[in-house]
Amino acid sequence: MLAFIFFFTILFIFALANVYIYKRLITRISFFKYLHNFFKYFFILLYISQAFFFLLRKEDFLTDKVYEILALSFAPSYCFFFITLFLDFIKFICIFSGKNYSIPYRFLRIIFEIFILVLGGFLTYISINNALKIPNVKKEQIYIDNLKQDLKIAMLTDIHLGKNLHKDFLEKLIIKTNALNPDLIVIVGDLVDTNVEHLKDYIGILNEFKSKFGTFYVLGNHEYYHNVNEVLQLLNENTNMHILLNKNIDLGVINIAGIGDLMGLRQGVYGPDLDKVQKDLSKNKPSILLSHQPKTVLLYNVNDFDLILSGHTHAGQIFPFGVIVKLNQGFLHGLYHLNEKTKLYVSSGAGFWGPSLRVFAPSEIVLLELKGKR
């Protein structure tokens, strides 16, 4: 029911946005005077594409290429909406202050209109590219009590392998991560976002991740949407990752632990069990906890851990949705100090969910440089 309300709200917002762009921008561009009907049908088709994406995106009869095209349809509406809104705001300020906002010469007006269209196209390209590109590396130095040697952790979250991001994306992500020469690699949930049948041909390339201690993985909420048991079977049979499902591993220099996602509480399977993790946790060395949703730290006592690594938020992914994410999760992106000992890092993620769109929320591969306190 909540998902239905969410999707209906998004589609209603985009319907209004498309009408607003057409009425307040397109019909006022002078050299579009005889093209109004064309653009009317264009925006109707654009909205149909957006509606089809949300209504049919989970259906297998959508090929990867069709899915990718439909996912692109949101970017022009989003970017041109904010351009139109900004222009209307400027007009309002001019009217309110008693100034003339119209451009006096037709030539200058045409130049300005072309600039607006080019700017909208450029912002559309940038917002799409921000979602689809291989993430940049973000380095973060973190000081940990009682850490006997420096460690480099490559952190990946929210890769969302599926109909939009698949083998080619994963291969390039692995190459870029391996180039960091990390001591260990962590994948903090939402690795899988499709039926496992679509991943069998290439999921084994996860074994190409290279690090001293190996690759460690925890479930995210999206794995539960695609039959979590089948996801775990796929990963167990085809990869050598350490799956931390309410367990911890002593690596000598540190403990690394992971818990099931909060979605497991709703579905009644593989929910978080922190007591089980802490039962045999070695307390004489630093401990790291992998937990997909950052709000887990607000629901459970995590004081035994020095560092919690989370994702899920995508840093909002699309402005201004970060406000809603922050209200829901309590955290958005970056490093948080929960107390004198325990820190939380929330990654914006390497991939994306839904529309091919990232705005003011760049994706990232995080290189955590852990150092002992001096």
Run of H or E residues at 185:
strand 184-188
pLDDT band at 102 (very low <50, low <70, confident <90, very high): confident
pLDDT at 362 over 90: yes
Q: Which of 45-49, 57-61, 179-183 has the lowest mean pLDDT?
A: 57-61
The amino acid at residue 303 is N
**Is the pLDDT confidence value at 104 over 90?**
no
In angstroms, rounded to a whole number, what is the distance separating the alpha carbons of residues 196 and 203? Answer: 9
Question: What is residue 7's predicted lDDT score, i.e. its pLDDT?
Answer: 76
Q: Considering only residues 10 and 21, tell me which one the structure prediction assigns the higher pLDDT.
A: 21
Task: Give yes or no for a contact between 77 and 18, defined as CB atoms under 8 angstroms apart.
Answer: yes
> Do 319 and 332 contact (CB within 8 A), yes or no?
no
Across the range 341-366, mean pLDDT stands at: 96
Count of residues making up the chain: 374
Confidence (pLDDT) at 1: 61
- H-type helices in the chain, by residue range? 2-24, 36-56, 64-72, 74-96, 106-132, 167-178, 221-225, 228-238, 263-267, 274-279, 296-299, 322-329
Mean pLDDT of all residues in 313-318: 97
Please give the model's pTM, rounded to 2 decimal places.
Answer: 0.94
- Collect all residues with Cβ–Cβ distance below 8 Å to 33 and sequence separation of at least 6: none
Q: How far apart are CA 368 and CA 61, in angstroms?
A: 41
Q: How far apart (Å, rounded) are the C-alpha atoms in residues 50 and 27?
A: 22
Cis peptide before 320 (omega within 30 of 0): yes
**Whole-number pLDDT of residue 103:** 73
The burial of 268, by beta-carbon neighbours within 10 Å (0-12 exposed, 13-18 middle, 19 or more buried), is given as exposed
- Which pLDDT value is given to residue 59? 65
| Per-residue confidence band for 98, with pLDDT thresholds at 50, 70 and 90 | confident
pLDDT band per the 50, 70, 90 thresholds, residue 3: low
Of residues 203, 204, 206, 208, the one with CA closest to residue 179 = 208
* Kind plus residue range of the DSSP H or E element containing 362: none
CA distance 130 to 133: 6
Longest dimension (CA), the chain: 77
Supply the mean pLDDT for the chain.
93
